[in-house]
A = this chain, B = another copy of it.
Amino acid sequence: MRTRTGPGPRERLLEAARELTYRQGVGVGVDALLKAADVARRSLYEHFGGKDGLIAEVLRRSTAEDEERYRQVMRSAGDDPRARLLAVFDELAEVVRGPDFRGCRYLAADLALADPGHPAHAITRDYRERVHRLLEDELVRLAHPRPAHAADQLLLLVDGVLAAGATRPRTEPARSARELAEHVIDGGRPASS
């Protein structure tokens, strides 16, 4: 009947790992994860095969959620591609302002996992490509002369916001980036509006 009262061990583990790997980094110990999730040791290895598998699944889920959040933010911004792109930076401003913000978890994972063969790297790479496409699609709709290049620049601004937001929070990096994003979106020429 599956009439469980709450989320099962798998979900509890994923949620605890999502939280702890962000706050403490992917170097968190297995014991801390098990304790936070209130889950038996064995369950971790049954469901994910090991710590690396759990980390990979956490990143997979998180990228899917973040991509969907980007889409939602752009959807809420209306039809104008310019407004939709700028809305991304408005959302970033709120993310960075958040009291629990500790930088980009994907960049942190990439920097922390020295082994280039770790499954986490493939996941973060795919995520960046998906976001790049998301941005590029809007730029194409804007008839931007160099949509791919402009998407690279916007992604660079996003990375800059997340990095500066973690290291120099008082400088309001999202606001700074938004100004530059306008310049990128307008293709170096003044806005049409």
A57 at the interface (CB under 8 A from B): no
- Contact A110–B180 (Cβ < 8 Å): no
Interface centre among A25, A155, A164 (most CB of B within 10 A): A164
> Copy number of this protein in the oligomer?
2
Q: Encode contact with B along A77-114: 1 for CB under 8 Å, 0 otherwise.
A: 00000000000000000000000001110111011101
**Residue of chain B at shortest CB distance from A157:** B160
A residues apposed to B, CB below 8 Å? 23-25, 27, 102-104, 106-108, 110-112, 114, 124-125, 128, 149, 152-153, 155-164, 166-168, 171-173, 176-177, 179-180, 183-184, 188
Smallest CB-CB A-B distances: 9 pairs = A160-B160, A159-B163, A156-B160, A108-B111, A152-B171, A153-B176, A159-B160, A156-B164, A24-B114
